[in-house]
């Protein structure tokens, strides 16, 4: 177990003003994005010069800077934008990169091998198995999924080989991060590419629900910081790179006070006024799901914020001393006075232009020197110790002592602002396009009941893990649950039982499942949810010993056609895509599980229905229309296999679709071509 040595308050910095607010209010680290490849592309973000300024400001004050590269990147972006961003991160001396994409991870590891890498919550890691896999890959920290309970976090922390970070305050997404396609499918603005349009905040109604049954309240769980830190969590993240400096200041202050055991109801109320959705929620920490977690941003919430903003601005009006310095002053008769200053592993030396002389009237005393040297107001420094040596009965103007202090602290600031030395080496991203033969067709089913009495030429079935068993004349691959919250041991046992039944290959949505496959000696695929979006991600999957990958449905056919790598890759060419994977069932918000029958739906403001299905511990919201590419077979012959992704269909409907795909039939009824032609922003 990697025990947390201290608690890090990690604050969002969407703008330079927000960064200053965070630092002045006591943040230990900030996270920010450049102009490209970060999950908040609509935030102010930082160009290269601004990032240099931001990093220098933070490092002079002992604050770390984490840079976000937490979006999926195309092959073209890996060649230019991603390498440019990593090079700039090395030049300005950021302390870590936050990464989602397996391809960006591979690139960063090659370009900047000494740079610490943090696995973004967008990687959806939520088990000890997943954390161990990240550690073996070379990540130094895992940002855990927000859906975990205190008990589940404690179990992971007890054996984690790397640092753990959790979200403690800010907006909550309904979907597990990295597992949401809703914004992309409904409007081509990809959450995985940093341009989420937040359609979940619009009306989506479950029967007897709130009317906004995909919109969660904001998280406020600062009360749990000390407890989580004792468990072994080292970093506590505040969400909000799109929010005002006043919010950042209030959230950081609330976290600092909570960590110190101070209760401040007034600040909490101010924070609620500045930004909340019908108040706050403790999130998933207490494992209490249901209607109380849902909320929207109301008119009165907006109105209440205005008079509070000026009050919160006072929290960060002035520089806050936060770096302790040790000083050594020396004055000898007939010699220039000198001052040495040490802080944060750096030391500087300054020498006065004035020379100490024999005193004619009032001699300079050690007490007067100490009093002058302590006057560090307006700087980030406070004196932690002074060693003053001076001859008796000498004189030196106090102005000379003050000048020494100013010069030494200015030199110290410059020294601390110097970026850490991260070497960068450009990488040639080779793209040897894989030649494929005529693709085969696989069928994925959400339940084994869909294959009863099914007659089809398709030879490979993907079935749920708990139901997977050999079928005569078929190759059966077992699909792991999309998420394993609190079920890691149970799923591990199911894998062992499936293996005993003769199953040899698993399909995993996240690195959690990949690790379990390795531990049980099973072959595995990267499945839907793994977000394989580029050639380097394919190569990383190969390095991790995957046998095949199902490509991200956010790719265009043009991008697919240019992929390199050797392992087999496939596309979903039929089916309702899961737009969200969520631990808090949106239909349970309106009805009990006993009344549900696991066959419910949400209705949007236009009257469109989106099916919802539960899978024991999590739910998925599916698209209203299935992808249909049976009549585009020639255009999709770019991969080794196609996947017909059956979800809500009856056995008869499955049989009909399979027959229509064999004849390359044109679509009937509502359908979509997915994102394969229009792509995502």
Three-class DSSP labels, 617-672: CCEEEECCCCEECHHHCHHHCCCCEEEEECCCCCHHHHHHHHHHHHCCCCCCCCCE
Domain-terminating residue out of 287, 316, 345: 316
Residues in the chain: 681
Looking at the structure, tell me whether residues 454 and 564 fall in a common domain.
yes
Tokens of 150: 């205190």
Looking at the structure, tell me whether residues 239 and 115 fall in a common domain.
yes
Q: What is the pLDDT of residues 310-353, one digit of tens each?
A: 889 899 999 989 999 999 999 999 999 999 999 999 999 999 99
Residue 39 reports pLDDT greater than 80: no
Residue 510 reports pLDDT greater than 70: yes
Contacts of 393 (CB under 8 A, 6+ apart): 358, 359, 363
Q: CA 102, CA 100: separation in Å to the nearest integer?
A: 7
Looking at the structure, tell me whether residues 401 and 546 fall in a common domain.
no
Greater pLDDT, 60 or 421: 60
Whole-number pLDDT of residue 274: 76
Which CATH number covers residue 258?
Answer: 3.20.20.70
Domain-terminating residue out of 283, 299, 316: 316
Residue 137 lies in a domain: yes
Looking at the structure, tell me whether residues 537 and 411 fall in a common domain.
no
Backbone dihedral angles phi then psi of residue 463, each to the nearest 5 degrees: -125, 155
Residue 190 lies in a domain: no
| E runs forming strands in 239-356 | 280-281, 323-331, 336-343, 346-355
Looking at the structure, tell me whether residues 150 and 228 fall in a common domain.
yes
Q: Pairing mode, if any, of strands 641-645 and 627-628?
A: unpaired
Backbone dihedral angles phi then psi of residue 348, each to the nearest 5 degrees: -135, 165
Whole-number pLDDT of residue 5: 52
> Given pLDDT bands bounded at 50, 70 and 90, which one contains residue 594?
low
Whole-number pLDDT of residue 3: 47
Question: Does an H or E element contain 256, and which?
Answer: helix 245-259
Residue 669 reports pLDDT greater than 50: yes
Greater pLDDT, 629 or 362: 629
Q: What is the pLDDT of residues 514-563, one digit of tens each?
A: 999 999 999 999 999 999 999 999 999 999 999 999 999 999 999 999 99
Q: CA 613, CA 492: separation in Å to the nearest integer?
A: 23
Contacts of 656 (CB under 8 A, 6+ apart): none
Q: CA 530, CA 359: separation in Å to the nearest integer?
A: 77
Angle between the 511-519 and 488-501 helix axes, to the nearest 10 degrees? 50
For residue 588, count CB atoms less than 10 angstroms from its CB and return exposed for 0-12, middle for 13-18, buried for 19 or more: buried
> Given pLDDT bands bounded at 50, 70 and 90, which one contains residue 501?
very high
Whole-number pLDDT of residue 435: 82
Looking at the structure, tell me whether residues 507 and 388 fall in a common domain.
no
Domain-terminating residue out of 367, 385, 417: 417
Whole-number pLDDT of residue 42: 66
Q: What is the pLDDT of residues 448-487, one digit of tens each?
A: 999 988 989 999 999 999 999 999 999 999 999 999 999 9
Greater pLDDT, 90 or 266: 90
User: Which of 142-151, 185-194, 267-276 shows the highest mean pLDDT?
Assistant: 142-151
Count structural domains, the chain.
3
Q: What is the pLDDT of residues 67-95, one digit of tens each?
A: 999 999 999 999 999 999 999 999 999 99
Query: Which of these, 47, 179, 53, 160, lies nearest to 121 by C-alpha position?
Result: 179
> Given pLDDT bands bounded at 50, 70 and 90, which one contains residue 597?
low
Whole-number pLDDT of residue 275: 76
Q: CA 500, CA 514: separation in Å to the nearest integer?
A: 19
Residue 121 lies in a domain: yes
Number of Cβ within 10 Å of residue 341's Cβ equals 25
Q: CA 448, CA 421: separation in Å to the nearest integer?
A: 56
Number of Cβ within 10 Å of residue 155's Cβ equals 18
Whole-number pLDDT of residue 681: 84
Q: Which of 184-188, 233-237, 296-300 has the lowest mean pLDDT?
A: 296-300
Residue 86 lies in a domain: yes
Query: Which of these, 249, 252, 244, lies nearest to 225 by C-alpha position?
Result: 252
Looking at the structure, tell me whether residues 364 and 486 fall in a common domain.
no
SS3 53: helix
- Using left for φ > 0, alpha for ψ between -120 and 50, and beta otherwise, residue 236 falls in beta
Q: CA 132, CA 399: separation in Å to the nearest integer?
A: 59
Cβ distance 442 to 646 under 8 Å?
no
Residue 668 reports pLDDT greater than 80: yes
Looking at the structure, tell me whether residues 310 and 353 fall in a common domain.
no
Question: Does an H or E element contain 30, and which?
Answer: strand 29-33
> Given pLDDT bands bounded at 50, 70 and 90, which one contains residue 117?
very high
Can you give 388-404 as a three-state secondary structure string?
EEECCCEECCHHHHHHH
Compute the mean pLDDT over every residue in the chain, rounded to the nearest whole number. 93
Whole-number pLDDT of residue 592: 67
Residue 189 lies in a domain: no
Whole-number pLDDT of residue 340: 97
Torsion of the alpha carbons at 221, 226, 227 and 232, rounded to the nearest 10: 110
Residue 291 lies in a domain: yes
Task: Supply the range of the domain harboring residue 116.
Answer: 8-172+216-316
Can you give 487-542 as a three-state secondary structure string?
CHHHHHHHHHHHHHHCCCEEEECCHHHHHHHHHCCCEEEECCCCCCCCHHHHHHHH
Looking at the structure, tell me whether residues 22 and 132 fall in a common domain.
yes
Cβ distance 111 to 438 under 8 Å?
no
Looking at the structure, tell me whether residues 331 and 302 fall in a common domain.
no
Looking at the structure, tell me whether residues 366 and 280 fall in a common domain.
no
Residue 134 lies in a domain: yes
Residue 108 reports pLDDT greater than 80: yes
Cβ distance 541 to 526 under 8 Å?
yes
Looking at the structure, tell me whether residues 49 and 136 fall in a common domain.
yes
Which CATH number covers residue 563?
Answer: 3.20.20.380
Query: Which of these, 281, 272, 98, 248, lies nearest to 174 by C-alpha position?
Result: 281
Query: Which of these, 179, 182, 245, 178, lies nearest to 39 by C-alpha position?
Result: 178
Residue 299 reports pLDDT greater than 80: no
Residue 183 lies in a domain: no
Q: Pairing mode, if any, of strands 117-119 and 141-143?
A: parallel
Q: What average pLDDT does range 563-581 have in this prediction?
A: 97
Cβ distance 149 to 486 under 8 Å?
yes
């Amino acid at each position: 177990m990697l025990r947390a040595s201290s608690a890090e308050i990690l604050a969002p910095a969407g703008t330079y003003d927000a960064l200053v607010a965070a630092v002045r209010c006591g943040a230990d680290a900030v996270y920010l994005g450049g102009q490209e490849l970060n999950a908040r592309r609509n935030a102010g973000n930082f160009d290269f010069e601004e990032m240099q300024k931001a990093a220098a400001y933070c490092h002079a004050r002992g604050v770390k800077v984490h840079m976000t590269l937490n979006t999926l990147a195309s092959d073209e972006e890996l060649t230019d934008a991603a390498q440019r961003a990593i090079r700039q991160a090395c030049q300005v001396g950021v302390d870590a990169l936050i990464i989602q994409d397996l391809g960006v991870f591979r690139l960063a590891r090659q370009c900047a091998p000494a740079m610490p890498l943090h696995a973004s919550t967008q990687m959806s890691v939520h088990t000890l198995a997943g954390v161990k896999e990240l550690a073996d890959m070379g990540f130094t920290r895992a940002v855990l999924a927000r859906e975990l309970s205190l008990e589940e976090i404690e179990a992971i922390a007890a054996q984690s080989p790397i640092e753990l970070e959790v979200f403690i305050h800010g907006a909550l997404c309904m979907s597990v991060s990295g597992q949401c396609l809703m914004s992309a499918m409904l409007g081509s603005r990809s959450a995985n590419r940093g341009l989420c349009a937040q359609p979940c905040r619009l009306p989506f109604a479950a029967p007897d629900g709130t009317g906004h049954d995909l919109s969660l309240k904001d998280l406020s769980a600062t009360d749990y910081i000390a407890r989580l830190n004792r468990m072994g969590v080292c970093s506590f993240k505040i969400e909000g790179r799109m929010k005002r400096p006043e919010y950042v200041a209030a959230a950081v202050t609330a976290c600092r006070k909570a960590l110190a055991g101070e209760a401040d109801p007034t600040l909490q109320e101010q924070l609620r006024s500045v930004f909340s959705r019908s108040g706050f929620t403790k999130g998933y920490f207490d494992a209490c799901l249901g209607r109380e977690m849902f909320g929207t941003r109301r008119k009165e919430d907006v109105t209440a914020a205005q008079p509070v903003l000026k009050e919160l601005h006072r929290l960060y009006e002035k520089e806050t001393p936060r770096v302790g310095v040790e000083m050594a002053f020396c004055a000898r008769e007939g010699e220039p006075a000198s001052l040495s200053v040490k802080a944060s592993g750096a030391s500087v030396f300054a020498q006065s232009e004035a020379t100490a002389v024999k005193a004619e009237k009032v001699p300079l005393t050690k007490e007067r020197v100490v009093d002058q040297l302590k006057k560090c107001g307006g700087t980030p420094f406070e004196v932690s110790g002074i060693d003053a040596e001076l001859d008796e009965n000498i004189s030196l103007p106090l102005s000379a002592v003050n000048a020494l202090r100013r010069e030494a602290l200015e030199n110290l600031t410059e020294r601390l602002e110097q970026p850490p030395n991260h070497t960068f080496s450009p990488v040639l991203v080779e793209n040897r396009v894989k030649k494929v033969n005529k693709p085969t067709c696989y069928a994925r089913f959400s339940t084994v009941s869909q294959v009863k009495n099914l007659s089809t030429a398709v030879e490979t079935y993907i079935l749920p893990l708990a139901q997977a068993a050999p079928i005569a004349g078929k190759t059966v691959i077992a699909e792991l649950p999309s998420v394993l919250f609190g079920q890691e041991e149970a799923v591990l046992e199911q894998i062992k039982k499936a293996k005993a039944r003769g199953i040899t290959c698993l399909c995993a949505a996240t690195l959690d499942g990949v690790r379990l496959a390795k531990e049980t000696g099973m072959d595995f695929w990267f499945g839907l949810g793994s977000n394989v979006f580029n050639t380097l991600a394919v190569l990383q999957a190969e390095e991790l010993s995957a046998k095949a990958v199902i490509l991200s449905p956010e790719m265009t056919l043009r991008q697919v056609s240019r992929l390199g790598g050797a392992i087999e890759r496939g596309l979903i060419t039929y089916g309702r895509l899961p737009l969200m994977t969520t631990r808090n069932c949106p239909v349970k918000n309106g009805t009990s599980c006993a009344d549900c029958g696991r066959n419910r739906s949400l209705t949007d403001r236009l009257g469109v229905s989106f099916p919802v299905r539960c899978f024991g511990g999590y739910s998925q919201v599916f698209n209203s229309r299935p992808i249909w590419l049976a009549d585009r077979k020639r255009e999709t012959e770019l991969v080794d296999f196609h996947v017909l992704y059956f979800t809500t269909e009856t056995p008869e409907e499955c049989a009909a679709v399979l027959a229509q795909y064999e004849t390359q039939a044109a679509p009937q009824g509502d359908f979509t071509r997915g994102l394969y032609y229009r792509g995502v922003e």
